[in-house]
Chains A and B, each alone.
Chain A
Amino acid sequence: MNSATQNLASKLKTSLGRRSFLKAGAAAGGGLMINFSWGVVPTDAGDAAAGMIPDQPFELNAYLLIASSGEITAMVPNPEFGQNLMTSMPMILAEELDADWKSITAKQANYDARAYERQFTGGSQSIRRAWQSLRMAGASARHMLIQAAAQQWQVPAGEIAAKNSTLTHAKSDKQSSYGAMAAAASQMPTPAEVNLKDKNSFKLIGKSRHNQEGQKIVTGQPLFGIDYQAEGMKIAMIEHPPAFGKTIESANLDEIKKMSGIVDAFIFESMKPDYQKNYFDTNAFPRLIAIVGDKTWQVMKAKKALKAQWKDLSSRTETMNAFGREVSVTIPGGLENTTDHGKKMDQALAGKLDTLREDGDVKSAFDSAETVIERTYRAPYLAHNTLEPMNFFAQITGDGVHVAGPLQAPVFIQDTLASRLGIVKDKIHIEFTRMGGGFGRRAYSHYLVEAAVIAKQVKAPVKLIYSREDDMTMGIYRPSYTVRIKAALDKDNKLVAYHVSGVGLAEHCVHENRFPAGAVDNYLAEGKAIDSNITIGAFRAPRSNFMASAEQSFLDELAEAAGEDPIDFRLALLERAKNNPVGDNNDYDPARYAGVLKLVREKSDWDAMPNTTHKGVAAYFCHNSYAAQVITVKRREGEPKVDKVYSALDCGIVVNKDSAINMVEGAVIDGIGNALFGEMTFTNGVPDKKNFDRYRLIRMNEMPNSIDVHFVDNSIDPTGLGEPPFPPVFPALANALYQAQGERLYQQPYFKPKKPS
């Protein structure tokens, strides 16, 4: 259970040292262990920032540099992909520093494991995991400024106020800007303890501040990996086999090399055959054709002229290092089809599954039940479709390599690249660019290794760019799932048994300790993964993004069978889980869960909506946060159209309010789009959709008429926000569409194109 951290002000112990960087390590229990580490000052961050500001900035720690002019550079350790860390992380630093917001400039840090902790963007964890480090960095810099002023003015530090980038000693009428004191402050010892602010006194956190990168975005400045330029840089593209289950045999490379503007064309391996993959090394096509040239268009033309021969792969077993645990993965040979996938999942569901959790006596409960309902829900594969296609820049530098581009998980790919190039990790310099979307796709950055291998081969700096077709057909999809749920009601329409079974390619999506576990006496959760050669990966709220659909659509049907309001039905279950939980390993807080349902009920005026309004509700817990969605649907020219959406979130303290609202609005639109249209299918291993002409994404004409976002107001340390609002959108829509169309929806995508007559 997620214990709410309600302590308002805190004092954190540190150890002594002259200059600092901060480290916050993950404690064994998954919580956050805070300590300062003192050691080598990271050079990269300081050097990089030095070039950005006219006068020499003074480094107070790895997160904060203050120039004599008063300009403050706030280093943002985690990669930005649209969640607006470039504003919210500086807000946290500025809050504890008591800095004038106008003097803050955000700068994306490079990858530097010595200076920063967990430079990973994913799992809705960036703010949650950096919260204490950022606060401490701000507070310790503030402390050092005060100490410097105390020394200079010969007054007690305790009498000095720091506010709005100004230090004041009232008694002696002395005043200094942060800028004027920065040089002296940078020479102060870092504090042994820092006081963090009382959360009730936050001035910046919880307010709205404009995006630090806004001006650059609206004027088209080069921010993205695909915009990267370097002297002598070549453009590279790759060609991968057209089908999963195939590999490259040969190609007309000599012809390609003769084409205008082409520098080289060759077959290469992005992984050595004996390489043991890590969890994020997912890659169906480690053997590729590279085409390198001077200009993108020339390379694209050469790619079209490529004629390659492919051969089928046979079944194989790989061992994978999954966070230190060696696991065996079977990759079947053969060319897979979507129709067969459905049959395979049905067969698996009919057979023996792995028991994940069992409470009570499920069999007896079903045998003696008054009403039994069983439903099966199906989800297709989804492609991430980040609007910026995969790309990366690479330049071999003596015994090392400089790489720059969009990635979510630098920590994992560094080992992969070191192994492939045969160099030491320390010689790999990773520069983060702003990502044109991520959604989980860029946690799997094999394209970075491909760029580096190509750069090494052609002995020139290279920017690798995927075409949209490459991007959409190279795998790492949201898995295809099937979930069967069976439940029993007693004669009083009380839920007495719940049996959830999940299968999927190549993972299932059952979280056995989530709601309604803990709320039902007789509960059974089972799951089984089915081997496939189609690669899968994390996609915004992995597993939750479909389990929410199955569970919350099912609960809607159960509530209807019980003759109860769907919100009342859920609240009664949560009340049970709160007062008298079944089992002791339930991973959600029933009170906070109920909290978002109550908030969305109030804000949507759920109880007062006219009977003619087609409305649906759903709530879900994932990534440490709680989300509820109410959706209403209207009929327009016979077709249902999403009218209004009401979102209620409990993600603890919200850092940048308007930016958080933007993210929830985006999650709602993303959810509606994927629920209605998202689908990837396969014919003989070939992805049937290769570009946006056939892969339908939501557009402006399909967006809801309004999205009304509300947050539960509390002082719990921030949890996650990028993912939690997304999963419940799908079932809220399904439940509303049922009201509008009179037909329950069991298979995504929900939109069925009209057959031509």
Chain B
Amino acid sequence: MPTYTVTINEQKRNIEADADTPLLWVLRDELQLVGTKFGCGIAQCGACTVHVNGSAIRSCSFPISAIGESKVTTIEGLSENGDHPVQQAWLEYDVAQCGYCQAGQIMSAAALLAQNANPDDAAITSAMSGNICRCGTYGRIKSAIKTAAKS
């Protein structure tokens, strides 16, 4: 089984996994970083969203063999104390219902704001429409992103 050295949340980690193992299962099974969720396995729901070199990607469809020197950030590494502006805004609006999709939503939102500090409604909708919330918290997600953008 091949081995990989990956930089996850600013730490180098050595892992052994089949080359086609999706990053999602490396995170969840090898590194016990279970904040990144399994939803569909085919990049349709966004529950598994993480950052690779700052961009939001669906880790369920990203093989570990493609990781190279890329830096990965998961929900656990988004901020040291859980106080990233997006996380704070999520708490302010009490966005979550069941909460299962929210790590993926937050990672998509944080990637958006890193690239576009002042997204308008259309930019938010476009960046967030790959993330499904089955409980229907879209309105609060949108409000929280706007608030995070201001801070």
Which residues from chain A sit less than 8 Å from chain B, CB to CB? 81-84, 210-211, 213-215, 217-224, 226-227, 229, 235, 260, 295-298, 300-301, 385-389, 434-439, 465, 467-468, 658-659, 662-663, 665-670, 673, 691-693, 697-701, 703, 706-707
Query: Is B40's CB under 8 angstroms from A691's CB?
Result: yes
Q: A84-B97, A387-B45, A468-B42 are in contact. List 6 more A-B contacts (CB 8 A).
A: A210-B91, A210-B94, A214-B91, A297-B22, A387-B133, A668-B136
Q: Which of B29, B82, B98, B135 interacts with A218 by CB under 8 Å?
A: B82
Q: Which among B33, B124, B135 has the greatest number of chain A C-beta atoms within 10 A?
A: B135
Residues of A within 8 A of B82 (CB): 215, 218-219
Residues of B within 8 A of A84 (CB): 97
Q: Which of A663, A667, A692 interacts with B42 by CB under 8 Å?
A: A692
Query: Is B38's CB under 8 angstroms from A662's CB?
Result: no
Residues of A within 8 A of B75 (CB): 218-220
Query: Is B18's CB under 8 angstroms from A691's CB?
Result: no
Q: Which of A218, A297, A437 interacts with B91 by CB under 8 Å?
A: A218
Q: CB-CB contacts of B133-151 with A at 8 A, as 1s and 0s?
A: 1111111111000000000
Q: Which among B35, B98, B125, B128 has the greatest number of chain A C-beta atoms within 10 A?
A: B98
Q: List 27 A-B contacts (CB under 8 A).
A: A81-B98, A213-B96, A215-B82, A217-B90, A217-B103, A218-B82, A219-B82, A220-B33, A222-B35, A297-B29, A298-B18, A387-B101, A389-B39, A436-B98, A437-B98, A439-B134, A665-B136, A665-B137, A666-B137, A670-B134, A670-B136, A691-B44, A692-B132, A693-B44, A697-B132, A700-B141, A700-B142
Main DSSP-derived SS at the B contact region: loop
Residues of A within 8 A of B140 (CB): 662, 665
> Within the assembled complex, what's the spacing in Å between the Cα atoms of A699 and B22?
25
Query: Is A665's CB under 8 angstroms from B99's CB?
Result: no
> Within the assembled complex, what's the spacing in Å between the Cα atoms of A118 and B34?
31
If A387-B45, A465-B38 touch, whether A214 touches B136 (CB-CB below 8 Å) is no
Residues of B within 8 A of A296 (CB): 25, 28-29, 38
> Within the assembled complex, what's the spacing in Å between the Cα atoms of A83 and B96?
10
Residues of B within 8 A of A83 (CB): 97
CB closest chain-A residue, reference B98: A82
Residues of B within 8 A of A218 (CB): 75, 82, 87, 90-91, 96, 102-103, 106
Residues of A within 8 A of B33 (CB): 220
> Within the assembled complex, what's the spacing in Å between the Cα atoms of A220 and B28?
12
Residues of A within 8 A of B34 (CB): 220, 222, 226-227, 229
CB closest chain-A residue, reference B33: A220
If A220-B34, A260-B18, A297-B18 touch, whether A700 touches B99 (CB-CB below 8 Å) is no
Measured between C-beta atoms, what is the minimum distance from B131 to chain A in Å?
8
CB closest chain-B residue, reference A656: B94
Query: Is A691's CB under 8 angstroms from B42's CB?
Result: yes
CB closest chain-B residue, reference A87: B94
> Within the assembled complex, what's the spacing in Å between the Cα atoms of A226 and B99?
13
If A214-B91, A465-B38, A693-B44 touch, whether A229 touches B139 (CB-CB below 8 Å) is no
Residues of B within 8 A of A698 (CB): 136
Residues of B within 8 A of A435 (CB): 98
Query: Is B47's CB under 8 angstroms from A387's CB?
Result: yes
Q: Which of B28, B74, B135, B139 interacts with A82 by CB under 8 Å?
A: B135
B100 contacts the other chain (Cβ, under 8 Å)?
Answer: yes
Measured between C-beta atoms, what is the minimum distance from A645 to chain B in Å?
10
Measured between C-beta atoms, what is the minimum distance from A436 to chain B in Å?
3
Query: Is A226's CB under 8 angstroms from B40's CB?
Result: no
B5 contacts the other chain (Cβ, under 8 Å)?
Answer: no
Residues of B within 8 A of A260 (CB): 1, 18
B51 contacts the other chain (Cβ, under 8 Å)?
Answer: no
Q: Which of B22, B76, B142 interacts with A220 by CB under 8 Å?
A: B76
> Within the assembled complex, what's the spacing in Å between the Cα atoms of A486 and B34?
54
Residues of A within 8 A of B39 (CB): 387-389, 468, 692
Residues of A within 8 A of B1 (CB): 260
Measured between C-beta atoms, what is the minimum distance from A706 to chain B in Å?
8
If A82-B135, A214-B91 touch, whether A220 touches B35 (CB-CB below 8 Å) is yes
> Within the assembled complex, what's the spacing in Å between the Cα atoms of A217 and B135?
14
If A297-B21, A699-B129 touch, whether A693 touches B37 (CB-CB below 8 Å) is no
Residues of B within 8 A of A691 (CB): 40-42, 44
Query: Is B91's CB under 8 angstroms from A659's CB?
Result: no
Q: Which of B20, B35, B97, B128 interacts with A662 by CB under 8 Å?
A: B97
CB closest chain-A residue, reference B141: A700
Q: Which among B29, B102, B134 has the greatest number of chain A C-beta atoms within 10 A?
A: B134
Residues of A within 8 A of B67 (CB): none
Q: Which among A83, A214, A665 has the greatest number of chain B C-beta atoms within 10 A?
A: A214
Residues of B within 8 A of A668 (CB): 136
Query: Is B29's CB under 8 angstroms from A703's CB?
Result: no
Could you tell me which residues of chain B, from 1 to 57, have a CB within 8 Å of some CB in chain A? 1, 17-18, 20-22, 25, 28-30, 32-42, 44-45, 47
CB closest chain-A residue, reference B90: A218
Q: Which of B20, B22, B29, B139 interacts with A665 by CB under 8 Å?
A: B139
Query: Is B96's CB under 8 angstroms from A692's CB?
Result: no
Residues of B within 8 A of A665 (CB): 136-137, 139-140
> Within the assembled complex, what's the spacing in Å between the Cα atoms of A699 and B124?
12
Query: Is A226's CB under 8 angstroms from B97's CB?
Result: no
Measured between C-beta atoms, what is the minimum distance from B20 to chain A in Å?
8
Residues of B within 8 A of A222 (CB): 34-35
If A669-B136, A692-B45, A693-B44 touch, whether A214 touches B96 (CB-CB below 8 Å) is yes
If A219-B35, A467-B41, A468-B40 touch, whether A436 touches B100 (CB-CB below 8 Å) is yes
> Within the assembled complex, what's the spacing in Å between the Cα atoms of A222 and B45?
20
Measured between C-beta atoms, what is the minimum distance from B81 to chain A in Å?
9
Residues of A within 8 A of B101 (CB): 387, 436
Residues of B within 8 A of A673 (CB): 136
If A82-B97, A220-B74 touch, whether A693 touches B87 (CB-CB below 8 Å) is no
